[in-house]
Every structure is written in structure tokens, then in C-alpha cells.
Amino acid sequence: MKFFSKLKTATAVAGISMLMVLGQQAIAMDDPDATVKERQMVMDNVKNTVGALSKAVKSGASSDEILAAADAFLAATASSVTVEAFKTNTHGKSTVKTTATEKVWTDWDRFEQALLDMENGAKEIQLAAAGGTLTSEDQLGVALKECGFCHRSAGYRAR
């Protein structure tokens, strides 16, 4: 009897914290500062995972380690994550310093395509890693060229 009432409490608590998580997401969507911070965390994760992958390839890590790093990079570039992070237009609304320019949203379709291209590049890289043929840093270029496209040529980022 006691066990069951404890179990019930645990379920109720889990239910409440789920609602809190959903609540926080709803707040983040209306809060430009939180939106910008979340987006920057997503981008930092892209940078850190590709950095770790590059290091693994360069240092001649085992194919398992390289595959794990490629998996992490692919997860970081998943368009379900990146598109979500950018889709709310925060231009001129946040007090947190952002380097995203208005062009991200005025040119949204092309911007979104660059996010998809980065994910597709990461997929190619992950396939090579899974096949044990990811042996040179140069092979990362297929995803890295999208960083340069957005950050420099396309002007989605202020410098």
C-alpha cells in the first residue's frame, strides 16, 4: 500500500516537472534573450563537436572514437535542432549581444537551406566514419564550407 502511494507521488512529481519544462520552453519563445542564448549554445555545440572530430581525425584516433565524434557532430547539426534554434526572429529585440543579422529572417529560405546543407555534409562525414574511411581532416570541408558561407559570404552574421 505504502509502496503504491509513493509510486503515485513519484508519477505526479514527474508530471509536474514535465509541465515545468514545457512552461520554460513557452517562456523561452517569448523571451528574445533566452532565445538568443539557446541559439548560441546550439552553435557552440556545432563548433565543439566539429572541433573534437577534427582533433580525433588529426591525431589518428581509433575508428570507434572517430565514429563517436562524427555521431556527435551529426546530432549537433540536426536540422530539427538548428532550424528550431533560429526560426524565431529576435532581430532588434534582445539585450543579449547577438551577431545574427536581420538577413537571417529576410532571407530565411536560403538560410534554412544552408542549415540543411550543413546537416547533409555531416551525414556524409558520418557515413565515411561508419565505413572507416574518414581519415583526413580535408573530408570535413563538405560541412565546414557552410560555416564560411553563413558567417562570411552570405552576411548572416555581423563581424
Stretch that binds ligand HEC, among 13-21, 40-48, 56-64, 126-134 (CB under 6 A): 40-48
Residue linked to cell 572541433: 51
Among 6, 47, 55, 93, binds ligand HEC (CB under 6 A): 47
- Asked if 32 interacts with ligand HEC (CB under 6 A), we say no
- Which one among 69, 115, 125, 129 touches ligand HEC, defined by CB under 6 A? 115
By CB under 6 A, name the one of 39, 56, 67, 72 that touches ligand HEC: 39
Cβ 100 to ligand HEC shortest distance, Å: 4
- Sites of contact with ligand HEC (CB under 6 A): 36, 39-40, 43-44, 46-47, 50, 98-100, 104, 111, 114-115, 118, 143-144, 146-147, 150-151, 156-157
